[in-house]
């Protein structure tokens, strides 16, 4: 069956080359960090490659990769919370960085649990339906709905707090005296 092995390798190679940029963008949105995203995507694709001959025939390989990225993000977060992070690595930002586009929302997005963040990214970046998100994350459509609604509520509340604080902290206009 050497031919089938070759065909599988070739198909996997083609899949990786075609979908890598999209998967990296998805992972970037999920993690908030392009370097962590690259690590997660590589790990997820290696796992996919090992099971490729089965996945390409019976499953949606891209959904499997996305699920592996989300699960990898959760595992990584569990590992990292046992370590003490002192500060973010200083790094120059590009003008198209999401952190410069809407810094408040980008920061708040990072505070959401991985699943909720994944649901929002799949919904608002990948434009997936609730059923497609449920298939990708391996959960029920009802769970997607509740996670999405909770995540949006958290973001709305946090943004409202930020704006209220900003209004309070804004310097009052100087008084003008008429003579």
- Residues near other proteins (CB under 8 A) are 1-4, 6-7, 9-21, 24-25, 28-29, 34, 37-38, 42, 45-47, 49-50, 52, 56-62, 94, 96-98, 101-102, 104-106, 109, 120-121, 124-125, 132, 152, 155-156, 159-160, 163
* Residue whose CB is less far from other proteins, 3 or 90: 3
Closer Cβ to other proteins, 139 or 159, answer by number:
159
Q: Where are the alpha helices (DSSP H) in the chain?
A: 2-31, 34-50, 52-58, 61-80, 98-101, 103-111, 114-124, 130-137, 141-169
HSE-up of residue 73 (Cα within 13 Å, Cβ side): 29
Closest by alpha carbon to 115, among 94, 93, 100, 137? 137
At its nearest, how many Å lie between other proteins and the CB of residue 124? 4
Min dist CB 146 to other proteins, Å, is: 16
Cβ at position 174, least distance to other proteins in Å: 22
In the bound state with other proteins, the residue whose beta carbon lies nearer, of 18 and 140, is 18
Cα–Cα distance for residue pair 18/21, rounded to 1 Å? 8
In the bound state with other proteins, the residue whose beta carbon lies nearer, of 156 and 176, is: 156
Tell me the closest approach of the beta carbon of residue 157 to other proteins, in angstroms.
10
- Asked whether 106 and 99 are in contact (CB, 8 A), the reply is yes
- Six token digits for residue 116: 């909720």
């Amino acid at each position: 069956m050497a031919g089938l092995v070759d065909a599988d390798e070739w198909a996997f190679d083609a899949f990786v080359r075609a979908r890598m940029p999209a998967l990296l963008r998805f992972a970037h949105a999920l993690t908030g960090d392009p370097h962590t995203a690259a690590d997660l995507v590589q790990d997820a694709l290696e796992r996919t490659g090992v099971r490729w001959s089965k996945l390409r025939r019976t499953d949606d390989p891209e959904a499997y990769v996305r699920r592996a990225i989300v699960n990898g993000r959760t595992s990584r977060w569990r590992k990292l919370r046992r370590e003490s992070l002192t500060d973010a690595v200083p790094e120059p930002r590009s003008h198209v960085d999401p952190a410069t586009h809407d810094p408040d929302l980008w920061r708040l997005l990072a505070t959401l649990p991985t699943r909720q963040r994944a649901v929002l990214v799949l919904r608002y970046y990948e434009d997936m339906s609730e059923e497609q998100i449920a298939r990708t994350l391996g959960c029920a459509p009802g769970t997607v709905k509740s996670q999405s609604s909770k995540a949006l509520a958290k973001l709305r509340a946090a943004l409202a707090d930020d704006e209220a604080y900003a209004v309070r902290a804004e310097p009052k206009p100087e008084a003008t005296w008429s003579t």
